[in-house]
Amino acid sequence: MTTPYSSRLRLPEARWARHLSEPKLFAAGQEWDVIRVEADLGVRAVRLLEASGTPLGPVLHDQTNDQAYFLVPPGSARTWQHERTRALGHGSWVVLAPPGWEGGLLRWMSDPTDSPPHTPTADLARAFAAATAQSGTNTRPRAHPC
């Protein structure tokens, strides 16, 4: 369970969230890039990362389009390749909610205040491959336009 964003002020590395009081559009490619994936695959990947003790950065679930958004190190979108995902880097825009946000259809699966600033891409790729294999879907990498 999350608490209201105003009571969560320990954001040493999530500078983008420090004064955020409602969802806002942010440019990717500066403090982070984003890997977008179907929410069901994202939830499985989150569970696998948590079970393995792997550091998990912020992960947002947008219930309007049933997508999960993993914040990854800036520049990661240039080399990211994994089926059923889309890398969003420089030139892309993403709506992010304040930490602990409880309004609307945006929910943090891994809140920025409770996590490192990013999920390591190598760990995320392994989690997506394992989660995809669990669903019985082909995991062959392919390039994605950004």
Write phi, then psi, for 67 (nearest 5 degrees).
-120, 150
Q: What's the pLDDT tens digit per position in 82-135?
A: 989 999 999 999 999 998 888 789 999 999 887 889 999 999 999 999 999 987
Tokens of 99: 């930490």
Q: What's the pLDDT tens digit per position in 6-33?
A: 333 344 457 778 778 899 999 999 999 9
pLDDT of residue 108: 93
Q: How far apart are CA 38 and CA 140, in angstroms?
A: 17
- Single-letter amino acid code for the residue at 24: K
What is the model's pTM? 0.83
Q: Dihedral through CA 32, CA 38, CA 42, CA 44, nearest 10? A: -170
Tell whether the model's pLDDT for residue 5 goes beyond 70.
no
